[in-house]
Structure 1
Amino acid sequence: MIEYIYHQIAYFSKEQAITSMYNFNIKKSKYLSLFLISLTFVLAGCVQKRLGMDGKRYYHNGMVVCAYPDAARVGVDILKKGGNAVDAAVAVHFALAVTLPEAGNIGGGGFMVYRSKTGESNTLDFREKGPLAASADMYLDSAGNVIPDMSLYTHKASGVPGSVDGMIQAHQKYGTLKWADLVQPAIELARKGFKITKHLAADLNRTGPQFKKLNPGKSYLIKEGDWHEGDTLVQEDLAKTLEQIRDKGRDGFYDGVVADQLIAEMNSGGGLISKTDLKNYHSVWRNAITGNYKGYKIITMPPPSSGGVALLQLLRSVEHYPLKKWGFNQDSTVRLIVEAERRVYADRSKYLGDPDFYKVPVDSLLKPDYIASRMSNFSWDAATPSTSIQPGTFVGYESDQTTHYSIVDREGNAVSITTTLNDSFGSRIFVQGAGFLLNNEMDDFSSKPGVPNMYGLIGGKANSIQPGKRMLSSMTPTIVEKDGRLFMIVGTPGGSTIITSVFQTIINVIEFNQDMQQAVASKRFHHQWLPDEIEAEKGALDSATVVKLQQKGYKVTGSGGIGRVDAILQTRPGYYQGGADPRGDDTKLGF
């Protein structure tokens, strides 16, 4: 019994511990109850201090981990009001559209992986689409060469936004609170303003000159002089747009005044999105891709996300090797992971695309025999040159500034959502009068076979530009089960590094026994087939490991931050531990 009290103190407040003891029927003995309550208060301070030294904290009633503190608070407030994980996710999404303009959005799209408290799983694809006026060669000049930046920083760079429809679909299927109550917190943040962080101030200052160049006559996110930490950012036009969405739902964005403003913006810059595109856009519910890794069930996103297939391929490629014995980021561990990654990204270049337009061979890509054959020419003697690795064969043949949030409610319903504008601040072009940014997701299509996109990713026919088609993505929102129970909710931004960041976070917990915060904070490395190099964060690999890798023919280059993982771990039934990536303003909150 004393051990039970000890854990209650460690994980919750004194008041919660006392309540739990009464629920545990301690109240059957009046004097024993009084004694134990007194003991609780005597021991609480020292026990909580002792267990709080490493920054760990556990929550029992729900948790939100996302990229900005104000948005995390919005999500927790919804959970406290009795909302479920999807209610909180909708509120967080719109709050991030205000507080994280470089990635949070109403002008972009994304993916949701959902798992109910009873184990039901589902996924929602609210990825952007190519406009009806799009064409395969739209970014090529008369000589057939890709025109620089046309798919990035012009009105033609934008796909048809899916975020608003996605949130509406998620709420209609799983939400419990009123729609207006979920959008209202974002309206208040936009109208009253919020205090910006040091990171956001730096991002706004860095991008300010391009905002001015691409948005003549507009003043969104621009001020006289530099932005500083603690400045208040007010976005009145965005507040008005959110009010339309609050009051009219889907019609508040895909029809009416906001749609008119979006089309006017397209027309002003030669963009392709039409009213027909907006009217025809609908999110799609898709069956989750599932697989197993050493007794853990992986629930992840199917195409047009490449993330789920690639993640399962990576896990299955390394499953039969003794990673735990080798150790975290040791040379054998790194070499195995890099060789798996180069083969998986080669497959991605040929076989992954929108399943509504291209028959993606998911089952073939995930067959154990196929994966074993892909790893069969891996040698410990030397690195396998990427030039000798091509997409596999079988019978029958994303943004650096994405954002992710993980949420669980008191009943155990879980949501993993990754959403993006593609590049930081998308196309950098605002919709006049509506105050939101346009995405530049068209760059995620393959503008020309064999020519890399902004993240160096190679694509082909499966991801060619077509009207109404969803562009391929690296987003990898994922939920992990253990013994039929929720184990982990995980995802990250990071463009092409998303897949490898999610993969490494999962094995950090399963193989290297890291807690959730350690797993997301640990230094990462990345390989994506082409270019043939290992990108490694500073401190990810010690000097001895780098030397060993170089001696075997691996090229190691430095990298800034890789990913910004936000994740939740269930340590035992009903006990949640968050991991908020220290690379940004990411925040974990619960109650």
Structure 2
Amino acid sequence: MLRKITVYFFILFISGCTNRSLTERGLVTEKAMVVSAHPLASEVGATILERGGNAIDAAVAVQFALAVVYPDAGNIGGGGFLVLRQQDGSIDALDYREKAPMAAHRDMYLDAEGEVLEGLSFKGHLAAGVPGTVDGMVKAHEKYGTMPWAELVQPAVLLAAQGFPLTQKEAKKLNEQREDFIRYNTKRPAFILQDKWRKGDTLRLPDLAHALERIRDNGRAGFYEGTTATLIEEEMKRGGGIITKEDLRAYNSVWRKPLTAEAYDYRIITMPPPSSGGIALIQLLTISEDYPLHEWGWNTAKSAHLMIEAERRVYADRATHLGDPDFYKVPVQGLLQEDYIKSRMKNFAPGKATDSDKISAGTPAPPEGPNTTHYSIVDPMGNAVSVTTTLNSSFGSKIFVAGAGFLLNNEMDDFSVKPGYPNSYRLIGAEANAIAPGKRMLSSMTPTILEKDGELHMVVGSMGGSTIITTVYQIIINVTVHDFPMQGAINAGRFHHQWKPDFVLSEWGALGFGTGLKLWLQGHKIVPKSGGIGRATGILVLPDGKLEGGADPRGDDSAAGF
């Protein structure tokens, strides 16, 4: 009897009401739009566009601005992925994901008995991979930028030097991380010693301003060589890290061919490996297309059950088959074959949850011979950029480079530190994602662009670790299947399943009482997720050609444009 009462109140909890409207329309502009995780960064991007810059120019400026005003994920000490669609329909993708240092090795986080040393890959100096952000922005600008480099970095320099007011959410996060900042840093930045930050307090970051000035004046060399490189190496030596000047000089971001596929009469343009997001997203949309989700309705028991079961199978494939294609032959074509994708649902039962222990990765045809933030941009010419960038977890490794004022990532945790052992997001990896010197760690980042009838239709992406893929998937379904506006699609409650561990994360209000109860009776284990799932930004091209920006209310996300 007690168990039944507990279940009743649990289902009642996850089905609670949300104040976020599903029909809400976001900011609508005539010509251009920038949506990012912080109002000041969005304003910086919009200003660049107003001054005649293109989407890549704005992306560079937003990236550096986020490194200042959104330090828990915006970065120069991390990495990311960029997907570009130009107004003529040509597409490109830039991989500026971090790399393992050359001194890294497969068992570096294991003890003498082969057991995982908890936390070593997640916090502190040894958790950091070689940063890729600055090299990525330089390469993007060299190939597609139109404005002078210095003009794109200068807004971030000013924000860091002059200071900016903290939002309530950012003040809260700095206060929450204070203990870790003090514990893990060999030299403490002055600002972290303040006892309590409050909304409206001005945060000034002079060391970061100088680091950005060096990037502004010297481009790539301003980070990977000279003063900043020396400061990074000295920080590593003090804290027992392994990144060297040689690692920094050797880093290179890579232009890759975007993945494309057709689903729901839309062309999906997304990121290839080492992102797992593109493959997983295409698989999820291909599976969903076979079922009448529009008829079943948004987040009904039938729709949610189907989507959960699809996610379960897709994440099983992710765990086994995906890694850095420069080190492992990822069976991309096999994973994206329509027959293979649909075969993964052969044991799908409409009224019953599948036990994840009875689900394993499929066998695709062999190949022929992953705290984060996202920003979406459309410029007046019709060029579109979808960028997801990260330090991995919130504030990365918690390590500030002394004298340079920026945080280092903890991306080494995104490798499989031991085959079958879950990382901080409880994602399981295998041989494809084992640690190797110079290798890029697997990611869940899913920057995506959609076309309809050959024209730009949507730009979308999200933060959220392992939940990024399912967040982007559900937003696309909300717009293309359920006809939500962009803002409503982002507002909508979300749920997530990643194969292992075998439960469904659900936001408050994502599932109604009836849906939650039916899913529980079908065998789904539902766990409430406080703080939201993902944090997305999106831009939708409306039928009249205007742009609607969707900014996630789960954070300080903001749209700006003209």
TM-score (norm 1): 0.90
- Cα deviation, 1:260-312, whole Å, max 9, x if unaligned, reads 00000011111111111111111000000000112100000000000000000
Q: State percent identity of aligned pairs.
A: 57
Aligned to 1:445: 415
Q: Do structure 1's residue 109 and structure 2's residue 79 form an aligned pair?
A: yes
Larger RCO (CA within 8 A; separation ≥ 6): 2
Aligned to 1:501: 471
Equivalent position SS for 2:463 = coil
Q: Do structure 1's residue 405 and structure 2's residue 375 form an aligned pair?
A: yes
State which of 8, 23, 33 in structure 2 corresponds to 1:63. Answer: 33
Q: Do structure 1's residue 566 and structure 2's residue 520 form an aligned pair?
A: no
Shift of 1:56: 4.0
Kept in 1, the 8 Å contact 2:188–2:402? The answer is yes
Letter in 2 for 1:193: G
Equivalent position SS for 1:229 = coil
Q: Do structure 1's residue 226 and structure 2's residue 196 form an aligned pair?
A: yes
Q: Do structure 1's residue 581 and structure 2's residue 552 form an aligned pair?
A: yes
Q: Name segments (4+ residues, structure 1) moved above 6 Å.
A: none
Aligned to 2:323: 353
Aligned to 1:416: 386
Structure 1 distance, partners of 2:25, 2:268, is 28
Aligned to 2:173: 203
Aligned to 1:535: 505
Alignment of 1:309-388 (within 5 A): 309-388=279-358
Alignment of 1:41-80 (within 5 A): 56-80=26-50
Kept in 2, the 8 Å contact 1:343–1:529? The answer is yes
State which of 116, 129, 133 in structure 2 corresponds to 1:146. Answer: 116
Q: Do structure 1's residue 514 and structure 2's residue 484 form an aligned pair?
A: yes
Q: Do structure 1's residue 181 and structure 2's residue 151 form an aligned pair?
A: yes
Letter in 2 for 1:319: E
Shift of 1:396: 3.6
Kept in 1, the 8 Å contact 2:166–2:199? The answer is yes
Closer/same/farther in 2, CA of residues 396 and 165 from structure 1, 3 Å limit? closer
Structure 2 distance, partners of 1:89, 1:145, is 42
- Cα deviation, 1:522-576, whole Å, max 9, x if unaligned, reads 0000000001111100010011111111111111110020011100000136310
Q: Which moved more, 1:210-219 or 1:462-471?
A: 210-219
Which segments of 5 or more consecutive residues in structure 2 lack a partner in the other structure? 1-22
Give me the CA root mean square deviation: 1.1
Structure 2 distance, partners of 1:347, 1:274, is 35
Equivalent position SS for 1:375 = coil
Kept in 2, the 8 Å contact 1:153–1:440? The answer is yes
Structure 2 distance, partners of 1:76, 1:221, is 29
Aligned to 1:37: none
Equivalent position SS for 2:462 = coil
Letter in 1 for 2:149: W
Aligned length: 537
Structure 1 distance, partners of 2:198, 2:400, is 22
Kept in 1, the 8 Å contact 2:331–2:365? The answer is no
Q: Which moved more, 1:501-510 or 1:377-386?
A: 377-386
Q: Which moved more, 1:417-426 or 1:368-377?
A: 368-377
Letter in 2 for 1:389: I
Structure 1 distance, partners of 2:519, 2:345, is 18
- Cα deviation, 1:374-425, whole Å, max 9, x if unaligned, reads 1010012311100000010134462xx2000000000100000000000100
Shift of 1:218: 1.5
Shift of 1:223: 3.9
Closer/same/farther in 2, CA of residues 345 and 54 from structure 1, 3 Å limit? closer
Shift of 1:216: 4.0
TM-score (norm 2): 0.94
Aligned to 2:6: none
Aligned to 1:171: 141
Equivalent position SS for 1:222 = helix
Equivalent position SS for 1:557 = strand
Alignment of 1:221-260 (within 5 A): 221-260=191-230
Letter in 2 for 1:581: D
Letter in 2 for 1:348: R
- Cα deviation, 1:192-224, whole Å, max 9, x if unaligned, reads 000000000000000011111112431254143
Shift of 1:54: 5.1
Closer/same/farther in 2, CA of residues 589 and 467 from structure 1, 3 Å limit? same
Closer/same/farther in 2, CA of residues 236 and 493 from structure 1, 3 Å limit? same
Kept in 2, the 8 Å contact 1:412–1:574? The answer is no
Kept in 2, the 8 Å contact 1:102–1:424? The answer is yes
Kept in 2, the 8 Å contact 1:426–1:440? The answer is yes
- Cα deviation, 1:68-109, whole Å, max 9, x if unaligned, reads 011111001100000001000000000000000000000000
Letter in 1 for 2:137: M
Q: Do structure 1's residue 426 and structure 2's residue 396 form an aligned pair?
A: yes
Structure 1 distance, partners of 2:45, 2:342, is 43
Structure 1 distance, partners of 2:113, 2:486, is 51
Equivalent position SS for 2:542 = strand
